[in-house]
Structure 1
Amino acid sequence: MEVRNIDQDELDALLALNEDHFNDVKSKRINPGKLQETFVAFANSDGGDLYIGIEDKSETGERVIGFGEQEDANALISTLLEETNPAVENVVIEFLEVEGKGLILHFGIPKSPKVHYTASGDCYIRINAAKRKIKGDRITQLGYSKGAEPYERRALDNVDIEDISEGELLSRYMERVGTHLLPEAFLRKQRLLTKKDGERVPNVGSVLLFDDEPQATLEKRCAVKVYRLRTTETEYKREQLEEMPVTINGDVESVIEKTVNQVTKYIDGASFQDAGKIVKLNYPSEALKEILVNAVIHRDYSLNDDIHVRVFDNRVEVQSPGKLPGYMTLENLYDERFSRNPNVVRMLHNLPNPVNHDIGEGLDTAKNELKKAGLVDPIFYEKENAFIVTIKHQKVASVEDVILQYFSNNPSSSISNKLVRQLSGEDDMQKVKLALQKLRAAGEIKLEDENASAFNYRYIKA
């Protein structure tokens, strides 16, 4: 197993570490079963780093009391890796060697798409700097939120198969995809029926797709509410509502269409003042659509809440119930793929001219379309039990603006083509060169060394 020597600076950083939602330190004397509770809590939540061989801050005396050799930690490693059910995948394990103080055992625990239990069968989650044991419905809810147990496959015994199989929505869908199967056989093949008490009954996914009023059938709030707020402030008041929120119900495909239309209507005419000028909202329609589609098809339908879309004078905020599922994080949104409602996503994608791209491509499309329009990337964050996307009507700074801002903050420094590209995100060397030449011609900047070769040009404030 890897052993890495750490210097005093890295050790000081470890000792200064505050135990929080993502970090914890434990004594090497900890019981393996107790340590497993924390290990499981991290995996069931958002992942984190666990260091063993460091005494708590409240303890007096030497805080680093590490393992004498790797074998001394075998019982802990075995319990965490072999007795956690199911095993947590992609755990990073290393020993940190501190001169004269032994080995600190470090576990890098990823956010897991599964629900994990200790050897004794208990389930824990991480809440701030503590672990919390959960039972029953709370474990079920955890599975839904992770996507480990898709809520869309939950059987609904209050719905007859005929309510779905004989409905107009299913009939139209089957005609559009060109199938000749009987309706019930089609539903069964598409995994839209789930066994319960020996019988197949419609599940949540079939209701979301083919029920005229899924909100009434599921007996929970799962519509979309669209607000128009006359303000640019972060904190808004009810009196800033232009009118009462519009509530959009129906099957997922029609909800998407109606939501896009309503938001487009509100954006038309929305404006704000910038440096004394009136700026009208004008978002690329494809970017707006992709973000709204994602909110509807990837939300957590097990939560009793609506999607909230707020159109402000200078931005659009889309709040979707449920945090990111599985191993998805804010950092890997554009790189990883995970669907909380795979059947709903697949069924919509099978249609001619589908409303949704392949999993994960929607956000890429939104980002690229905003970039083409000269607007900043969408902003993502999680709040309590919701995922929020903010689309700001904010222009990307030009390369020239980036250069001038750099000299405003660093008046005595110099800048190169490479540094400008790093600061601006503009990869085209020629575009940066032209921007530098333009500012030089305008007398804003000048060469630091007139005799330098073109490849070594650096510029300073004129």
Structure 2
Amino acid sequence: MVKANIIANEDLEALLALHEDHFNDIKSKRIAPAKLQETFVAFANSDGGDLYIGIEDKAVAGQRVCGLTEPEEANAIIATLLEETQPAVENVDIEFLQTERDGIILHVAIPKSPKVHYTASGDCFIRINAAKRKIKGERITQLGYSKGAELYEKKAVKDVDLDDITDAESLNDYMARVGSKLNPEIFLRKQRLLSAEGAKKFPNVGCVLLFGEEPQATLDTRCAVKVYRLRTTEKEYRREQLEEMPVTINGNIENIIKETIKKVANYIDGAAFQENGRLVKLSYPAEALKEILVNSVLHRDYSLNDDIHVRVFDNRVEVQSPGRLPGYMSLENLYEERFSRNPNLVRMMHNLPNPVNHDIGEGLDTAKNELKKAGLIAPVFEEKENAFIVTIKHQKIASVEEVVLAYLNENPTAELTNKLVRQLSGEDDMQKVKSALQKLRANGQIRPVDDKANAFNFRYVKTQLP
């Protein structure tokens, strides 16, 4: 007999206060298993989530917890979810929560899955905020590409003649560097860079990205890199803060990686801000920048019609790649798990002498370690609807207070503003910096120049000890 875990009253209250959202849903025990399966599939096809069965909707008047009388009552539900979902969702966690007097709540924890799943009736759903949405046709194909379940890099490109690739200088140069004496067409076939369409073989997307002369003009999707230099430290920027129009970098993957690294390094070399008439220059470890830029090119979702955007601000670098994290990858397991959306691209670049890329997953570790050596905080990762963003902040591992005191020790007559401290520390939250300054003031380590100054003109100086 399955044992139920007793749920404490305070945990039950927290569960009843839960808002249904992208990651959480509650259902009545009266729900039909087939209907519940739609939500189950939606979670697995999206970012995973938690289902609680045995709780009535908040709109229901009266008793909301109406649980199962015994765990065996959930057998039909569990069988439908685990055995009739196609393909089966792996690593689902089932838990029974025994309330004091209102029965048993069934808790189903669904992981983000690297596969595309369907209900027993053949329908596909995704989770959008607090609701499920049925998708069909091309949208399912796109879901497969975004997860890495289907490899967009293997899609045949019928507009490209095979001879254009086999005669390409970039292919001949690559084969010479890896020491291959094969016929170019045989080499491409062995490297899985040709895809069949009917009886004919065509170069696939990965092949064109690697060896095409101008993939950006050939493929149906955008695949360039745009690099911006922005003279600001603010989160949002205006057009007039662009130092120049964004630079677009085209060409095959190897060329894009090399030219992007070069252009960003050039912009970084000029990254600085003015403080009391003195130019304060910023520096970033080149290896950390390289690893993150290489990752953005090799692991982006090429099925999405967007370029990579690299923005060099006065106090940070932002790298925005099309596509969310693939497969079972999440913001929480980035350093531990390994999953490649474009395995052929990664492998082909890694096969070169002195490859630009490490083994899958090692690049981020290298970036974090190089930043740490330079005394800077680890990269910051963020997912948006159709993008993955890495931010490299010029923020010291030291606290804001430590940065302020170190600066004042070197510049004992300097005047501090909130904006200057944000630039020095890399911490872009105004309230956090304000709190740090107030703490230093309360400790008697700094004092205001003018207590009555406007908030936007408030300045601090070092307290002179007697």
> Where does residue 216 of structure 2 map in the other structure?
215
Distance change in 2, residues 1:276/1:5 (3 Å): farther
Q: What letter corresponds to residue 58 of structure 2 in structure 1?
A: K
> Where does residue 330 of structure 1 map in the other structure?
331
> In structure 2, what is the Cα distance between the partners aligned to 1:350 and 1:57?
57
> In structure 2, what is the Cα distance between the partners aligned to 1:313 and 1:400?
21
| Contact preservation (8 Å) 1:232, 1:272 | no
> In structure 2, what is the Cα distance between the partners aligned to 1:276 and 1:375?
25
**TM-score normalized by the length of structure 2:** 0.85
> Where does residue 440 of structure 1 map in the other structure?
none
> Where does residue 340 of structure 1 map in the other structure?
341
> In structure 2, what is the Cα distance between the partners aligned to 1:269 and 1:341?
34
Measured against aligned partners, the alpha-carbon deviations of 1:20-40 in whole angstroms (never above 9, x if no partner) come to: 000000000001111000000
Measured against aligned partners, the alpha-carbon deviations of 1:204-244 in whole angstroms (never above 9, x if no partner) come to: 00000000101111033210000011111111001111111
> Where does residue 357 of structure 2 map in the other structure?
356
| Contact preservation (8 Å) 2:226, 2:309 | yes
Distance change in 2, residues 1:401/1:229 (3 Å): closer
> In structure 2, what is the Cα distance between the partners aligned to 1:400 and 1:136?
55
| Contact preservation (8 Å) 1:321, 1:387 | yes
Matches within 5 A, 1:298-337: 298-337=299-338
| Contact preservation (8 Å) 2:209, 2:215 | yes
> Where does residue 436 of structure 1 map in the other structure?
none
> Where does residue 148 of structure 1 map in the other structure?
149
Query: 1:279: Cα distance to partner?
Result: 2.8
> In structure 2, what is the Cα distance between the partners aligned to 1:400 and 1:310?
28
Q: What letter corresponds to residue 199 of structure 1 in structure 2?
A: K
> In structure 1, what is the Cα distance between the partners aligned to 2:274 and 2:387?
30
> In structure 2, what is the Cα distance between the partners aligned to 1:358 and 1:62?
55
Count of aligned pairs between the two proteins: 405
| Contact preservation (8 Å) 1:177, 1:351 | yes
Q: What letter corresponds to residue 89 of structure 1 in structure 2?
A: E
| Contact preservation (8 Å) 1:287, 1:367 | yes
Q: What letter corresponds to residue 244 of structure 1 in structure 2?
A: M
Runs (4 or more) in structure 1 with deviation over 6 Å come to 274-277
Q: Secondary structure at the match of 1:117?
A: coil
Measured against aligned partners, the alpha-carbon deviations of 1:299-353 in whole angstroms (never above 9, x if no partner) come to: 0000000000011111111100000000000111111000000000000000000
Query: 1:354: Cα distance to partner?
Result: 0.2
| Contact preservation (8 Å) 1:256, 1:292 | yes
> Where does residue 73 of structure 1 map in the other structure?
74
> In structure 2, what is the Cα distance between the partners aligned to 1:232 and 1:148?
39
> In structure 2, what is the Cα distance between the partners aligned to 1:276 and 1:129?
52
Matches within 5 A, 1:103-118: 103-118=104-119
Distance change in 2, residues 1:143/1:77 (3 Å): same
> In structure 2, what is the Cα distance between the partners aligned to 1:65 and 1:219?
53
> In structure 2, what is the Cα distance between the partners aligned to 1:9 and 1:273?
53
| Contact preservation (8 Å) 1:167, 1:210 | yes
Q: Secondary structure at the match of 2:328?
A: coil
Structure 1 residue 368 and structure 2 residue 369: aligned?
Answer: yes
Matches within 5 A, 1:126-137: 126-137=127-138
Query: 1:278: Cα distance to partner?
Result: 4.0
Q: Secondary structure at the match of 1:72?
A: helix
> In structure 2, what is the Cα distance between the partners aligned to 1:222 and 1:213?
10
> In structure 2, what is the Cα distance between the partners aligned to 1:302 and 1:400?
45
Name the % identity. 75
Q: What letter corresponds to residue 98 of structure 2 in structure 1?
A: E
> In structure 1, what is the Cα distance between the partners aligned to 2:15 and 2:290?
45
> In structure 2, what is the Cα distance between the partners aligned to 1:47 and 1:213?
39
Q: What letter corresponds to residue 195 of structure 1 in structure 2?
A: A
> In structure 1, what is the Cα distance between the partners aligned to 2:243 and 2:400?
38
> Unmatched 5+ residue regions in structure 2?
406-444, 446-466
> In structure 2, what is the Cα distance between the partners aligned to 1:34 and 1:193?
42
Which stretch has the larger CA shift, 369-378 or 194-203?
194-203
Q: Secondary structure at the match of 1:132?
A: strand
> In structure 1, what is the Cα distance between the partners aligned to 2:165 and 2:178?
17
> In structure 1, what is the Cα distance between the partners aligned to 2:101 and 2:220?
63
Matches within 5 A, 1:183-194: 183-194=184-195
> Where does residue 38 of structure 1 map in the other structure?
39
> Where does residue 459 of structure 1 map in the other structure?
none
Q: Secondary structure at the match of 1:292?
A: helix
> In structure 2, what is the Cα distance between the partners aligned to 1:378 and 1:276?
30
Q: What letter corresponds to residue 123 of structure 2 in structure 1?
A: D
Q: What letter corresponds to residue 18 of structure 1 in structure 2?
A: H
> In structure 2, what is the Cα distance between the partners aligned to 1:89 and 1:276?
60
> In structure 2, what is the Cα distance between the partners aligned to 1:220 and 1:399?
43
Query: 1:272: Cα distance to partner?
Result: 2.4
Q: Secondary structure at the match of 2:381?
A: strand
Q: Secondary structure at the match of 2:319?
A: strand
Query: 1:277: Cα distance to partner?
Result: 6.2
| Contact preservation (8 Å) 2:153, 2:204 | yes
**TM-score normalized by the length of structure 1:** 0.85
> Unmatched 5+ residue regions in structure 1?
405-443, 445-462
Distance change in 2, residues 1:246/1:26 (3 Å): same
Measured against aligned partners, the alpha-carbon deviations of 1:126-151 in whole angstroms (never above 9, x if no partner) come to: 00000000000000000000000010
Q: What letter corresponds to residue 44 of structure 1 in structure 2?
A: N
